[in-house]
Chains A and B, each alone.
Chain A
Amino acid sequence: MLRVEHVTRRFGGLVAVNDVSLTVAPGRITGLIGPNGAGKTTLFAVIAGFVAPSAGRVLLDDIDVTAEPPHRRAVRGIARTFQVVQPFAGLTVRENIAVGAHLRHRARAEALCRAEAIAAEVGLSAALDEPAAGLTVAGRKRLELARALATEPRLLLLDEVLAGLNPSEIRDMIPVVRGLRDRGITILMVEHVMQAVMALSEHIYVLAEGRLIAEGAPETVARDARVIEAYLGHGAAARLDRARAGHG
């Protein structure tokens, strides 16, 4: 459904994303992991159209959308959440979600109605008429998700929607994300909470210092020496192996 081809993005001298190619299969949850500063959010911004790539292309259903602005891509069915949440602070939760719903529903009444239904889906019903500025961290993450969902996307880009949540809140969110996939929404998710991303994703890409260093099924990736090195530092894989051998 989504194809990223040789995307590079530079910020001055820094190469935040370096020649990354990946594909996201329809109807699945694909994970994108990597240490801090790996370039995950930048790649998301390129896919959603907020940042132009220095080189490379983004294709949605084989259509080149690299030159399209974000709002055109939203119409095509790409929705994203922001890692640093971006609520419409002065509006209520209902009004926030309705902005998303308006993408497919012109009438105000209908959009407000959809907002209510989606709030129920992500567990925000109780806060519908509260100003978004007053929400807790967990509430804001839910609002990000709700607004994106309200656009009725085909491809949903989730940037760390679990970060900052406590274990029980994470446990609540996992079935919500899985439910979306079951409804046919394709999901690409960036996540640092390993348990969650391993449990949810069918395929995982690993980014480190802007480069794609590994990909595959969750179990394969978790054992990949390069991935362990990227996360734990040079020599970590070998140490881990020795430790395992010692125990075994």
Chain B
Amino acid sequence: MSRVAAYLPIAAVVALAAVVPLVVTSNTVINFLVFTLIVAVAAQGWNLLGGYGGQYSFGHAAFFGTGAYVTALLQTQAGWNPWATVLLGILAGAAVGAVIGFLSFRSGLRGSYFALITLAFAEVFRILANAAGITGGAAGVLIRLDVRPENFQFASRGTFFWVGLAVVAIGLVLTRAIERSRFGAHLVAVRENEDAARALGVDPLRVKLLAITLSAGLTAASGGLYAQYFLFLDAGIAYGAWISVEALVAPIIGGIGTVFGPLVGAVVLQGLGHLTGHLAGEIPGISLVVFGALLILAVAFAPDGATGMAGRLWRRWRRPATPTTTPTATGGERC
């Protein structure tokens, strides 16, 4: 696949999405879409480690919350510019990822053990954030409303949509670039069979560490966006299980280990969540009931997620009953 062909779908999707605020004026809808983009970024982060690297984290809240708190607290406590604090939040999240990754992967934790230890770390962070003074404790942090673009606050929600979309676009391009790199090949190899990868010169610890660092950084970016959009945080929001669950369920619903899976999954998930909330009349927890059911159904019946299912239907419809080659497989380069 040529470089242009590899990135064209991303450009097309982003361009199409960018038009949305121009035609949709409803604040509720834009609100919903911005939230969906924020979840999509967190999910993209999870997908790098979970989808490509096969390391399922149950505690991506640790990175989301760190990104969010650093973004918020450096503004409120130190008075720094939010554009800078968002970047620092990303770095802090990535650093937390590297540390948790180093501790866990060096001890050889994988599978269920890795999932549980990430969850435990996120819970420790949540309890600490809830108890500490600097985070505002249980009362939370409020970022002062001061609507100026240089302040990462925008008069129109549409503008924030574009900012969120830009971050999603970065996530898409990053994911595609990894897919087409040696690091990506190593990451997938480690997921499929660690021993075989080692025999071929792959250092699994290094590969997994890089993956969790990038993954955590991207998810921290999602946290920073959240802080700037909602201008309020508490421990339950920042380090709560909700974001760990959304970041994990979205890629699985959308298509794990694919470029567009997390975005598609986030849209499907948020869409269905809202729909059920609407139909069932705002019963607490009802949208999460749907998430849980979707997760089970996806694992049972659509292991390649919505994008995979759509791809299969599309191919069946186009040329019935002919075997197909997958696009990533051929590569297309002539030697």
* A residues adjacent to B (C-beta < 8 A): 48, 50, 69-71, 74-75, 79-80, 82, 86-92, 94-95, 98-100, 102-103, 106-109, 111-113, 116-117, 129, 147-148, 150-151
Contact = CB atoms under 8 A, between A and B. Distances in A.
Given A50-B195, A88-B188, A89-B193, A112 B201 contact: no
B198 A95 contact: no
Interface of B: 180-182, 184-186, 188-189, 191-193, 195-204, 325-326, 329-331, 333, 335
B333 A100 contact: no
Contacts of A99: 185-186, 189, 197, 200, 202
A147 B189 CA distance: 12
Given A70-B198, A92-B329, A108 B188 contact: no
A150 B186 CA distance: 14
Give the interface centre of A71, A94, A112 by most chain B CB atoms within 10 Å: A71
B175 to A, nearest CB: 14
Contacts of A74: 198-201
Contacts of A92: 326, 329
Contacts of B196: 82, 86-88, 147
Summarize B's interface: helix, strand, loop or mixed: helix
B200 A103 contact: yes
A95 B325 CA distance: 13
B182 A88 contact: no
Contacts of A113: 333, 335
Give 4 closest A-B pairs by Cβ, nearest first: A74-B201, A88-B192, A113-B335, A103-B201
A148 B199 contact: yes
Given A71-B202, A129-B325, A87 B331 contact: no
Contacts of B326: 92, 129
Contact of B199 (A70, A89, A98, A107): A70
Nearest to A86: B196
Contact of A151 (B182, B188, B200, B335): B200
Nearest to B182: A102
Given A88-B188, A91-B192, A102-B186, A129 B199 contact: no
A135 to B, nearest CB: 14
A107 B192 CA distance: 21
B192 A117 contact: no
B54 to A, nearest CB: 9
Given A112-B333, A129-B329, A98 B185 contact: yes
A39 B195 CA distance: 19
Contact of A71 (B181, B192, B203, B333): B203
Contacts of A90: 188, 191-192
18 contacts: A71-B198, A71-B203, A74-B199, A75-B201, A79-B200, A82-B199, A87-B196, A88-B196, A90-B192, A95-B329, A99-B197, A108-B181, A108-B184, A109-B333, A111-B182, A111-B185, A117-B335, A151-B200
Contacts of B191: 90
Nearest to A77: B201
A99 B326 CA distance: 18
A98 B200 CA distance: 10
Contacts of B192: 87-91
Contacts of A79: 199-200
Nearest to A75: B201
A107 B203 CA distance: 18
Nearest to B203: A71
Nearest to A76: B201
A147 B200 contact: yes
Contacts of A70: 198-199
Given A109-B333, A113-B335, A50 B198 contact: yes
Nearest to B199: A80
A88 B192 CA distance: 5
A116 B335 contact: yes
